[in-house]
Amino acid sequence: MIIKILIPIYNDWQSVVKLLENINSEITSLEYEISVIIVNDKSTEQKPELNLNLNYIKNIKIINMKENRGHTRCIASGLKYLNEKENFDYVIPMDGDGEDRPEEIKMLVDEIKNYPDKVVTANRIKRSEGFVFKIGYQIHKYLTYIFTGQSIKFGNYTCLPKSSVAKMTNEAATWNSFSGSLAKLFKERRSTPSIRGVRYFGPSKMSYINLLKHSLSIISVFKKTVLIRSIIFLVVYFFLMSQHLSAVTLIPVVLIVAMIISVFSLSARENVDELNNSLENIMNIDQIK
């Protein structure tokens, strides 16, 4: 069985070096061929010389991109590359900063032994951020469920069978939201519990603004459902509040309308043609091992 670990990276080489070392030590007992594909999203920091003793990782490639297109599109481009250029059975996308813990790779792999054709997600049961951020993340999950009907407790850290990767690379939503696209395409999924790790170096790059954009990007994948549920909410709300309309009671209406506009605006980022042509953004590929 061949497993490819897909890691998007932008200016975080120090973390990637440590992550590779930790992956290598965590897969010693796995009887599979495991390789790593790093997608370098046109980092501005100098790439270090990677002279590592990684006996258990079969090979390592770094795909260097011509233009910076962001984390989600890095993953989408990596999936496209793997689907067209590499031989594999499963792909495990994971962040390169340590927040996706390498020790959970075994849990993902154990799950595919029993369910070889299912997508396996690492569902967050514990996060490492501060209290306020955790509250914001909970609000994100509740809003996603209320307006889309989808309970999405996972991020990029998953294990995808080859057939699932093929479907993901033919879905326009993958260019906009990895987890949203996954939830849309695969209703029946397996999961393992996951604890959000602490970044190896430096502060988290997930700011409150990025969290909001991340949440709305996921929701935008289900824009038709969002629109229908929002209209139902507004009709019921106006009916109940018809005798009490004021500047204060209209705040929820303004927020809902703003969300609908944002969702449809973000959904315009979905583009299957750009996804299909994403390999044209590859500048070169470094074979590290």
- pTM, two decimals, is 0.90
Closest of 52, 44, 49 to residue 20, by C-alpha = 52
Residue 138 is predicted with a pLDDT of 79
| 184 pLDDT more than 80 | yes
pLDDT at 127: 58
More confident residue, 203 or 120: 120
Span 201-210, mean pLDDT? 70
State the pLDDT at residue 208. Answer: 62
At residue 68, does pLDDT exceed 90? yes
Of 54-58, 214-218, 276-280, 284-288, which range is least confident? 214-218
Give the CATH number of domain 2-205+271-287; options: 3.90.550.10, 3.30.43.10, 3.90.1150.10, 3.30.70.260. Answer: 3.90.550.10
Return the higher-pLDDT residue of 127 and 113: 113
pLDDT, tens only, 11-51: 989 999 999 999 999 999 888 999 999 999 999 988 877 77
- Write down the pLDDT at residue 246: 86
Domain boundaries, the chain: 2-205+271-287, 224-260
Question: Which pLDDT score, from 0 to 100, does residue 212 have?
Answer: 77
* Long-range contacts at 65-69 (CB < 8 A, ≥ 24 apart): 65/39, 65/40, 65/41, 65/281, 65/282, 65/283, 66/42, 66/281, 66/282, 66/283, 67/42, 67/281, 68/10, 68/41, 68/42, 69/41, 69/281
The amino acid sitting at 1 is: M
pLDDT tens digits, 228-282: 999 999 999 988 888 888 888 899 899 999 999 999 999 999 999 999 999 999 9
What was the pLDDT predicted at 82? 97
pLDDT tens, residue by residue, 130-172? 667 677 777 878 888 888 988 888 989 999 999 999 999 999 9
For residues 173-198, average pLDDT:
93
